[in-house]
Amino acid sequence: MKHWERILRTLLVAAVAWPAIAVAAVPAAQIEADFKALDGYVVMQQDHEILIDLDHKSGLRVGDLVTVLGKSREVVHPATQKVLGKLEQVKGVLKVTQMRAGYSFTRLLTPKAKIRRGDRIRRYGAMRAVFWDYTGHGRELYQQLKRGLPDLKWRDYQTDQRNRPKQVAADSLQPDQLGFVLKADGLQVLDTEANLVRRYAATTAARPPTALPRAQASSKPAPAAAKPGLVNYGSADALGDLGGAIKMADMAPHGAGPLWAVTDGKQIRVYRSGTRLDLVYEGRRYPDQILSVKWYAPEPDVLYIVANAWSEVENRPAARILSWQSDRLQTVKDHIPLILGAFDLDGDGRPETLLGQEFDPELFYGRRIKQLTIQGGKLETGRPGIELPQRFAVVGSRFADLDRDGSPEAIFVRQGILRIYSGKKVLYKSAKQMGGTLSVLTYKKNAGFVDFMLASAFFEVSPVTADIDGDGLLEILAIASDQPALKAPGISNRIKGSRLVVLKQQDGSFVKGTLGEPLDSAVQGLSISGRRVLYVASEPGSLFGGDGMSRLKALDLVR
């Protein structure tokens, strides 16, 4: 098989089958293995986290729920006095947030529970399980799981169907409930806060694939034949205009529709993207240069925007944190002398961790990085809860568990190179062709001198991760661009064209392909929602004036 044919098949082999799923068939044996009981003990409490003695070697994964068990009650036969079993009492529920060799960090989901050193724990032990079947064909799967996972307290199938919500929300589950939600595209398992714990894609039914009805067919022209390393889904649909040249954009899922925070370098706007694109907030113009925006969600339904800015007067970073309140932004903290980034470390899709990186006049992105939390409107600092590689930058980066070992890898773009690290170990390093951004800062390296030197810092768009080909493993989707060979401080960064690059881990290495058609603009925001890739295509104004223009576009991952 030719090299490009192997890449093409590996990257998106399942794409043509997605529309053909008729009945959701999910791997019950894999589910039983992922949720089997693991026993251990509470080790100690560290600040706001509880340490347990299980780790990835035990089979534990970040995002798993662990119950803290109280005294058990024996079930004794009244005639023979034989012990028939034990009734387990659940004192509290913990969620695994980080893992180390020999122990793991957890967060308490039941705040009133009194947890003590030495308490017995069990993964998913004695938790109530609800099974909501939105396909009408899930009774057999329910019976399989009920037999295979007897440690869970399963409710009656029919009762669950009568009581299932029309749409699963954060308050749909009780504090000690685990939610199994079956839909046509597969099974999702949700924790007590309705955050995703596991997802199992449906396999194709025995029925052969059928074409989409003409009434539902896309109006896009038929995609061209695939080139080596290219899977072509045709042209993207434009969802709406975002005004002038957007320098950075970031999306956050929201109940009423995804929210997009965007900046043109002077102000922050928020749009809601549903069936159409609506402007819901337009902020004042700031005196500082805004370089990037990122959503930060330390708790469910709690949203902040962290905006990196630059103070020309002080010649240093002047980041700010703003709280999203329904339809407006309120400043929580400004003039923060750090470079900020928000990250999803536990893989639930919510960027719950805030990191701040020191400013280094020589390198811009300094070596010291702190973890930040907001307590009563104040910033508290501590050590990062994850091992960070050298040359890491909190902008243009993401964490994701690519190999499903329970520990997320660091993926980041810096100086045109995409790197993937597991702890301090480098897994992949690209050629110098990745990234490409309109958000560029030119600053004085030695501002106090008469003969000062200029330097440039690039604020790249973070890669995203998703199971694009349906094999249960995450792929990386990142931006590559064609940029001028000559770059100099003070000269506007021009992007000749961009591409969406897919990286897939295979046989211990990474293979690369391109998703969709080449783009004739810069990409200043990138996200995946369901089976759609969403991106912000931004065209800067001309050198002789003009504001440029930007559009939010969507590329369907169904051919």
From 47-61, 444-458, 535-549, the region with the lowest mean pLDDT: 535-549
Neighbours of 377 (CB within 10 A): 9
pLDDT band at 65 (very low <50, low <70, confident <90, very high): very high
- Residue pair 398/353 in contact (Cβ under 8 Å)? The answer is no
Beta-ladder partners of 340: 356
**What tens digit of pLDDT does each residue of 281-309 get?**
888 889 999 999 999 999 988 999 999 99
- Residue pair 175/113 in contact (Cβ under 8 Å)? The answer is no
Rounded Cα gap, residues 52 and 119, in angstroms: 10
pLDDT at 130 over 80: yes
**What tens digit of pLDDT does each residue of 168-184 get?**
887 889 888 999 999 88
How large is the average pLDDT for residues 2-20?
43
pLDDT at 500 over 70: yes
Count how many Cα atoms sit within 13 Å of the Cα of residue 476 in the half-sphere of its side chain.
30
- Please state the three-class secondary structure of 351-375 as a single string: CCEEEEEEEECCCEEEEEEEEEEEE
pLDDT of residue 144: 93
- Residue pair 370/319 in contact (Cβ under 8 Å)? The answer is no
pLDDT of residue 49: 87
- Residue pair 343/353 in contact (Cβ under 8 Å)? The answer is yes
Rounded Cα gap, residues 199 and 189, in angstroms: 6
Q: How far is CA 531 from CA 130, 507, 555, in A?
A: 26, 26, 9
Candidate ranges 167-181, 259-273, 477-491; pick with highest mean pLDDT:
259-273
pLDDT band at 403 (very low <50, low <70, confident <90, very high): confident
- Residue pair 37/106 in contact (Cβ under 8 Å)? The answer is no
Choose between 212 and 138: higher pLDDT.
Answer: 138
- Residue pair 524/437 in contact (Cβ under 8 Å)? The answer is yes
Rounded Cα gap, residues 559 and 557, in angstroms: 6
Three-class SS state of 229: coil
pLDDT band at 541 (very low <50, low <70, confident <90, very high): low
Choose between 2 and 270: higher pLDDT.
Answer: 270
Quick one: CA dihedral 469, 470, 475, 481, positive or negative?
A: positive
∠ CA 484-486-491, rounded to 5°: 90
Q: How far is CA 332 from CA 318, 325, 358, 375, 558, in A?
A: 13, 12, 20, 11, 42
**What tens digit of pLDDT does each residue of 67-120 get?**
999 887 777 778 887 877 777 788 999 988 777 888 998 989 888 889 999 999
pLDDT of residue 14: 37
Radius of gyration, CA atoms only, the chain: 25
Which amino acid appears at position 323 of this protein?
S
pLDDT of residue 484: 57
Q: Which of 92, 1, 6, 101 is nearest to 50 (CA)?
A: 92
| Pairing label, strands 39-46, 177-183 | unpaired
pLDDT of residue 559: 52
Choose between 200 and 424: higher pLDDT.
Answer: 424
Choose between 472 and 251: higher pLDDT.
Answer: 251
pLDDT band at 156 (very low <50, low <70, confident <90, very high): very high
pLDDT band at 480 (very low <50, low <70, confident <90, very high): very high
Residue carrying structure tokens 């009920």 = 146
Rounded Cα gap, residues 395 and 387, in angstroms: 17
pLDDT of residue 398: 97
Q: Which two tokens stand for residue 528?
A: 């995946």
Rounded Cα gap, residues 153 and 128, in angstroms: 4
Rounded Cα gap, residues 189 and 64, in angstroms: 11
φ and ψ at 44, to 5 degrees?
A: -170, 170
Count how many Cα atoms sit within 13 Å of the Cα of residue 128 in the half-sphere of its side chain.
14
Residues 6+ apart with CB under 8 A from 264: 243, 244, 245, 246, 247
- Residue pair 223/31 in contact (Cβ under 8 Å)? The answer is no
* Average confidence score pLDDT of the chain: 83
Q: Which two tokens stand for residue 374?
A: 């907001």
How large is the average pLDDT for residues 25-45?
89
**What tens digit of pLDDT does each residue of 305-363 get?**
999 999 998 999 999 999 998 778 999 999 999 999 999 998 888 999 999 999 999 99
pLDDT of residue 213: 32
pLDDT band at 160 (very low <50, low <70, confident <90, very high): very high
pLDDT at 265 over 70: yes
pLDDT of residue 240: 86
How large is the average pLDDT for residues 450-466?
90
Choose between 210 and 8: higher pLDDT.
Answer: 8
Q: Which two tokens stand for residue 31?
A: 């589910």
Residues 6+ apart with CB under 8 A from 307: 263, 268, 290, 292, 293, 294, 319, 320, 321, 322, 340
DSSP state for residue 450 in the 8-state scheme: S
How large is the average pLDDT for residues 135-140?
91
pLDDT band at 502 (very low <50, low <70, confident <90, very high): very high
Report the length, in residues, of the chain: 559
Q: Which of 62, 16, 15 is nearest to 350 (CA)?
A: 62
Q: Which of 114, 443, 446 is nearest to 308 (CA)?
A: 443
> For 262-273, b where at least 16 C-beta lie within 10 A, e where not — what string?
bbbbeebbbbbb
Residues 6+ apart with CB under 8 A from 254: 272, 303
- Residue pair 310/318 in contact (Cβ under 8 Å)? The answer is yes
pLDDT of residue 220: 44
pLDDT of residue 43: 96
**What tens digit of pLDDT does each residue of 193-250 get?**
888 788 787 754 433 333 333 333 334 444 444 344 545 555 688 888 887 889 999 9
pTM above 0.85, yes or no: no
